[in-house]
Structure 1
Amino acid sequence: METSQCSDPLVGAVLDGRYRVDTPIATGGMSTVYRGLDIRLDRPVAVKVMDPRYAGDQQFMVRFQREARAVARLKHPGLVSVYDQGLDGRHAFLVMELVEGGTLRELLEERGPMPPHAVAAVLAPVLGGLAVAHRAGLVHRDVKPENVLISDDGDVKIADFGLVRAVAEAKITSTSVMLGTAAYLSPEQVGTGDADPRSDVYAVGILAYELLTGATPFTGDNALAVAYQRMDNDVPPPSAAIAGVPCQFDDLVACATARDPDARFADAQDMAAELDDVVTELGLPAFRVPAPRNSAQHAAATVHHVRRPTRAFTRGPSSPDEVEYRRPAGLFAGIEIDELELARQRGKRVTTFWLIAILTLTGLIAAGAWTLGSNLPALGL
């Protein structure tokens, strides 16, 4: 984040006589997100302030208000709640739930690829939130790690519904601007600009690939080159990039990222059901996703002397079937060695056989893994 508190003229301002703008958290091409305070309710909030150029565009404001109202009606633990929207002078803004923690992008940068059970723990609430939106007739259009937030309590939530569509319909949008992040756009979004629930499914498939391998499947010299690669190329199986990925996840990614929308999961609910089957088939243990340590959100809290969460990364799970995610000393078949201990007994119902089954499964997956650890440096460990 480039913007500093001293140089940002909005810091300290009170929007609409109610929302105090405190510290910048993240800045993008369309907006800046701030840590703020609802003075009326004495409640910390996140305030997304759109670039001033949008405030003068009537078409954008109409769409912005409509999308904000629609998203505010959605209720699901996997969705960031929208509280309010407004216009204060040249500043169109959205007031949202403040998720104390960080983004999935920040977590990936800190820890790299995730083992399968951690990937499932991220995807399940994301798909759950998207499923609620899809049933309401809404499409996200910009699913990516930056829009997935992780709280210090392990909650995973998706944010920023409706903003891409609102900007796309604004008169100031240039035809040279490709909305949505190029790495996650579906072929139909690249080709025609159309999007439906299957477009979100495609983006979740790319997200799953990235969580498993640490990188997105397509690369290029610029955003357009990256975007257009998916028009003629299938997403390769994650197991081709990192050994040890179960074939069930290869199949999940393949179905989600099919170039033909009709060959994909119909919507997020359909993909979530398949993910549930994969988790059951592999016997993946429950997992609490950690917030990144060095997040912009934590930095913003520190600047304003807000009490930081006391939960430490090394603290034990809060219940027998939750597991903390830690950097290990090494990998085995692409799975962190310490994570092999994750299959702890779930209360009295789980027996020693469970641990044996998990270790046996991992050993089978390891058949094609690195020899004598020769590939460990490739993971950056």
Structure 2
Amino acid sequence: MRRSLGPYELVRVLGRGGMAEVYLARSHGASGFSREVAIKALAPELVGHADLERALIREATLAGKLRHRNLVAVLGLGVDDGLYYVVLEYLDGGDLSDVVLPEPLALHVISELALGLQYLHDARGERGLPLGLVHRDVGPGNVLVSRTGDVKLADFGITKATALADLTAAGAVRGTYAYMSPEQLGGEPLSAASDQFGLAVMLVELVTGARPFAGDTPAAVMDAMRSGAILDSVVARLAPDVAEVARTALAPDPKARFSSMDELRTTLDEIRRTRLPVGASELGAWVRSRRAC
């Protein structure tokens, strides 16, 4: 691992994907000032790939204009010896991969993400025209939390071409296909409703520890997702009111899902009012206890 990128000291690798690497890094200033950030850079073997560099620059430029408490902030864009990198807000609680939460905490997390996604879907450009943004990769690996109870969605600059590049001609999948909507799996036009599907898969998984679709092969799982063959044995482990939310957002037809993330969130918050009141404080306590183990 290289020791630095631009003015940033690289501390350790946080994650690696097919196209990029993410590092924990530190910036240093006068009088002992130090700040931890995350840095996303193209994988070494892709340096000099003009199309991918342009995509990274577009991602940083667009995401840098978005400001919301539930979206990871983009702090800057740099280049070091031909390697482009994006400087991101760092959250010290990690992501939610392979995590099972008590139902009230899971509902809080999903509600917060729905708030951030509604902001993303509503984003407008400098001329006031809708940007038509869709995240396309909503899943636990892209949800970051902090010791103080923050919930933030990362990688909201991923393009459709990047997401679908994870599907091989043979049907084998290397990426996050398990959270893709049926229309995304089919290469069809996406809409804000497409992000509801991944959010609902994550809701089921956070509460039960299992996903709502299954099959002997990735291709079989994708067929189940496209046909709406939800595993009743898994969804039955949810409370009936939560299961109804999940089934609505998992509808194969985007038009049969909630009309917006706001409607999904409002429905969830009505359910939350019948449960123990939990929020950032309780989530932060859970994160700290997990990190202490």
Q: TM-score, normalising length from structure 1?
A: 0.65
- Give, as a single letter, the amino acid of the residue that structure 2 aligns with 1:162: G
Aligned with residue 104 of structure 1, among 91, 96, 108: 96
Sort the Cα spacing of 1:89 and 1:143 in 2 relative to 1 into closer, same or farther, 3 A.
same
After TM superposition, give the deviation of residue 204 of structure 1 in Å: 0.4
1:81 maps to which of 53, 73, 77: 73
| Cα distance change of structure 1 residues 279 and 24 upon mapping to structure 2, 3 Å threshold | same
Give the distance between the partners of 1:169 and 1:55, measured in 2 at CA.
21
Counterpart of 2:26 in structure 1 is 37
CA contact (8 A) 2:210 2:234 kept: no
Alignment of 1:161-176 (within 5 A): 161-165=156-160, 167=162
Deviation at 1:193, TM superposition (A): 4.8
When the two chains are superposed, the root-mean-square deviation of aligned CA atoms in Å is: 2.8
**Partners in 2 of 1:249 and 1:214 — Cα distance?**
15
Q: 1:223 deviation in Å?
A: 3.2
Q: Secondary structure at the match of 1:189?
A: helix
Q: 2:242 aligns with which of 249, 253, 258?
A: 249
Residue from 262, 266, 269 that aligns with 1:269 = 262
Equivalent pair of 2:138/2:198 in contact (CA under 8 Å): yes
Q: Structure 2 residue aligned with 1:183, among 159, 175, 178?
A: 178
Given that 1:142 and 1:180 are in contact with CA atoms closer than 8 Å, whether structure 2 keeps it comes out as no
Choose the corresponding residue for 1:141, options 111, 125, 136: 136
Counterpart secondary structure, 2:137: coil
2:201 match: 206
**Deviation for aligned residue 1:274:** 1.6
1:292 CA displacement: 6.5
> Which letter does structure 2 place at the counterpart of 1:116?
E
Deviation at 1:48, TM superposition (A): 1.4
Which residue does 1:278 correspond to in 2?
Answer: 271
> Are the aligned partners of 2:228 and 2:251 in contact in 1 as well (CA < 8 Å)?
no
User: What displacement does 1:260 show?
Assistant: 0.3
SS at match of 2:97: helix
Q: Hey, what's the Cα distance between the residues in 1 that align with 2:16 and 2:121?
A: 28
1:118 aligned residue: 105
What is the alpha-carbon distance in structure 2 between the residues aligned to residue 54 and residue 292 of structure 1? 36
8 Å Cα contact 1:82/1:96 also seen in 2: yes
Match of 1:307 in 2: none
* Consecutive unaligned residues in structure 1, runs of 5 or more: 1-7, 296-311, 314-381
How far 1:209 sits from its partner (Å)?
0.9
Partner of residue 218 from structure 1, selected from 195, 203, 213: 213
Instruction: Specify which of 95, 117, 120 is matched with residue 130 of structure 1.
Output: 117
Deviation larger for 189-198 or 216-225 = 216-225
User: Structure 2: any 5+ residue segments left out of the alignment?
Assistant: 124-131
TM-score scaled by length of structure 2: 0.83
Q: How many residues align?
A: 277
SS at structure 2 position matched to 1:87: strand
Distance 1:80 1:127, change over 3 A: same
CA radius of gyration, larger in: 1
How many angstroms does 1:230 deviate by? Answer: 0.8
| Percent of residue pairs bearing the same amino acid type | 34
Q: Which residue of 2 aligns with 1:379?
A: none
Q: CA 1:29–1:50 in structure 2 vs 1: closer, same or farther (change >3 Å)?
A: same
